Amino acid sequence: MYQASNIYLICGFAAIGGGLFGFDISSMSGVLGTEAYKNYFGHPVSYTQGGITASMPAGSLVGSLVSSFIADRFSRKVAIQVSCVLWVIGSIIQCAAVNVGMLCAGRVIAGLCVGIASSVVPVNGLSHGVS
């Protein structure tokens, strides 16, 4: 069986899992100030906007807590695949959002992915020969 020994390659994949968090936060911060966003979602007040923004880290918290159960029960590979499917589903729901509730639901689902990937991807890299 192939054992990865290139530390830069392994760390690069580990960074991708953690990079999803920064990608989502930065893309959302770029959207918040646009007039199209404000008009479409009815000029959300501060606490509504806080809920929209915080829904992704909330999903990430839950995802990171359940990631060990998924990885132990099925495997780290399956956990990473599940997180990828969750990212796609969450992205689709966010893109199709017609109200704030649907947007928050999509962000929570995408957050589950970020939590799982951020927890499992570095562990997966460590188990392949990096210590």
Range of the domain at 90: 7-126
**Considering the domain boundaries, does residue 112 fall inside one?**
yes
**Considering the domain boundaries, does residue 1 fall inside one?**
no
Q: Alpha-carbon torsion 81, 126, 69, 27, what sign?
A: negative
Give the count of domains, the chain: 1
**Considering the domain boundaries, does residue 26 fall inside one?**
yes
Q: What is the model's pTM?
A: 0.82
Greater confidence (93 vs 119) lies with: 93
**Considering the domain boundaries, does residue 83 fall inside one?**
yes
**Considering the domain boundaries, does residue 37 fall inside one?**
yes
pLDDT tens digits, one per residue of 75-87: 888 898 899 899 9
Confidence band (pLDDT; 50, 70, 90) for 14? low
Q: How many CA atoms lie within 13 A of 44 on its CB side?
A: 22
The H or E element that residue 54 is part of is: helix 46-73
**Considering the domain boundaries, does residue 131 fall inside one?**
no
Q: What is the CATH number of the domain that holds 119?
A: 1.20.1250.20
